Structure 1
């Protein structure tokens, strides 16, 4: 008897091939998907683009802040008490600004961690970067400085000086964005919604701001918070003498601008100071942008003990702060009283 052979029909061969392709697809689809996801996670961020978006976000938020104030639609309420016992206010200006700024940054750079002073569940995927880069940034900052998003933390303050905002002391109000890389402030943007002026800096690259030609500590003009200026006066005069002028002002952004040379067109909007001192807890979204601006000009913002502030992790800076530019920062720190007001 002749040996029996196996004959496959063309249809059978086709079915077998299809089954093989299907098995291979399922075996490798997961691998391919994981590799695509990994590639997306490692997508680089161009820091010049991030600076441009930060400026656009601060301006966009500022428009909301001004619109709400102009229309008297604040709808203010309290979020609770600060450590000093003052009411921490929330207005529609804070919320509307947050929604614009936060969504613009997250939509443009979805892999970057963004912290905001406000919290809101409204997602707006329609807000998109205009792709415009301001002319002065194009002129002063090189593109192609790409870094991993995992190293970036963005801090936004949608409305700095909310208390003053409710009192219509709008000269103190700012919107701010800061980009920290590895916990160090690298990019800072401070926008004044009611004048339209925007200060920006990229540490190690350039800024549209500069330090003034001279500063003094004998006597000094020291700018402090309006909310607890009384206890700070004694602390500062013990260090710098009774002739020290104390300037009480709202908003951390405003206080940093007071240390810098403002353009002649906006000079009247900010009172000049030599040193900025804060002696209690303060949030990093309040100070990160200012730290970047000062650092870009060779200035300093440290705790009262002279420690660098880490702009990653927890949002609270518990060590108070001293901010200077154009002065011997270390020598100034050595004159401060040893008592620790941050624990009071």
Structure 2
């Protein structure tokens, strides 16, 4: 007689499979859990490290900007026109600075979103962070300020004030990096390539900058764009009367004009009480300055006093008002009604 085989019903097969899966799950759940935890840990970013990388990136970009200008290798061309009709220029200084800055930040923190004014994928040489944290950052900023990488947006401006760069008005030129956490500017770096000075700030932690000892509201000295001004002069005079208007290049320079600069830098800097821009402006132009001002109790808002969200699309359509050391609300209340989208 042939031996009897064991037959399992479909239900029995299903139960057997489920038991097997359960055993496998219990055997490997610990391994899977630890690997997931390690993955999540890798996606955390220490903001002090990111500040140090941002400073290094701005300085490296600045060296490229200076080298191209010194060698007269600008090779400038037009990227198009702004809403006000001003020509937007692109030079080799912009591109070479972008390559250094973007590649250093992305190679160090590959999970972070990095938005740059320029778009170029050339990697001339691998960019590796030196692991050097400047002494003043070590002194003022605590480490292990870890945040999830997905909450971060980095904005870089490889060459602010390109128009002035081509005109050899080099005091206006800066390279900038900003780190926003959930859309709020937290880290700002503004580097001046032709003086070598770097301003940095970490909101709530510290900065190497300070507000000036005195500012004026009656009337304020207002700094505005010399190349993208639109109708800003009449706007400012309508708000404050026959006050002084300072025309300058570069959003980074304008923010520095509101702050106390080192004695070695003050001779080349104008001093302003308020920075106003009444037309569209990109977030890589203003995010670093917003972080510096916020770190010192200042403000950078739209013309209507709204906070600017430094995530999402690059364009800020609401204009801006930037102050530190004065009553920001009082400045806003004196401004005429103005819609940047209609001008």
- State if a TM-score over 0.5 links the two structures: yes
Within a 5 Å distance, the mapping from 1:238-249 to structure 2 comes to 238-242=238-242, 244-249=243-248
The TM-score with structure 2 as length reference comes to 0.89
Deviation at 1:241, TM superposition (A): 1.1
**d(CA) in 1 for partners of 2:68, 2:338:** 42
Q: Is the 8 A contact 2:280 2:340 kept in 1?
A: no
Counterparts of 1:98 and 1:33 in 2: how far apart (Å)?
39
Match of 1:154, SS state, is: strand
Contact in 2 for aligned 1:74/1:93 (Cα 8 Å): yes
In the other structure, the counterpart of 1:292 is: 291
**Aligned twin of 1:7:** none
Say what the alpha-carbon RMSD is for the aligned residues: 2.2
Pairs within 5 Å for 1:193-232: 193-229=193-229, 231-232=231-232
Taking the aligned partners of 1:341 and 1:295, their CA distance within structure 2 comes to 24
Between Structure 1 and Structure 2, how many residues are aligned? Answer: 319
124 and 181 in structure 1: CA distance in 2 versus 1, 3 angstrom threshold: farther
Secondary structure in structure 2 of the residue aligned to 1:128: coil
Listed as ranges, the gaps of 5+ residues in structure 1 are: 4-23
Pair 228,116 (structure 1): closer, same or farther in 2 beyond 3 Å: closer
Match of 1:163 in 2: 163
Structure 1 residue ranges, 4+ long, deviating more than 4 angstroms after superposition: 31-38
- Whether the aligned pair in 2 keeps the contact of 1:283 and 1:317 (CA below 8 Å) is yes
Report the counterpart of residue 101 of structure 1 in structure 2.
Answer: 101
Aligned pair in 2 of structure 1 residues 34, 75: CA closer, same or farther (>3 Å)?
farther
Judging changes above 3 Å, is the alpha-carbon distance between structure 1 residues 120 and 38 closer, same or farther for their aligned structure 2 residues? farther
2:229 touches 2:277 (CA, 8 Å); kept in 1?
A: no
**Matches of 1:105 and 1:144 in 2, distance apart?**
18
Quote how far apart the aligned CAs of 1:268 are. 1.5
What CA distance in whole angstroms lies between the structure 2 residues aligned with 1:342 and 1:235?
A: 15
C-alpha distance in structure 1 between counterparts of 2:37 and 2:141, whole Å? 31
Cα shift at 1:343: 2.0
**Partner residue, 1:236:** 236
Distance in 1 (CA, whole Å) between partners of 2:200 and 2:97 is 19
Q: Which residue of 2 aligns with 1:261?
A: 260
1:115 aligned residue: 115
Matched with 2:59 is: 59
Distance 1:148 1:341, change over 3 A: closer
Gaps of at least 5 residues in structure 2 are 4-23
- Tell me how far apart the structure 2 counterparts of residues 304 and 178 of structure 1 sit (CA, whole Å): 21
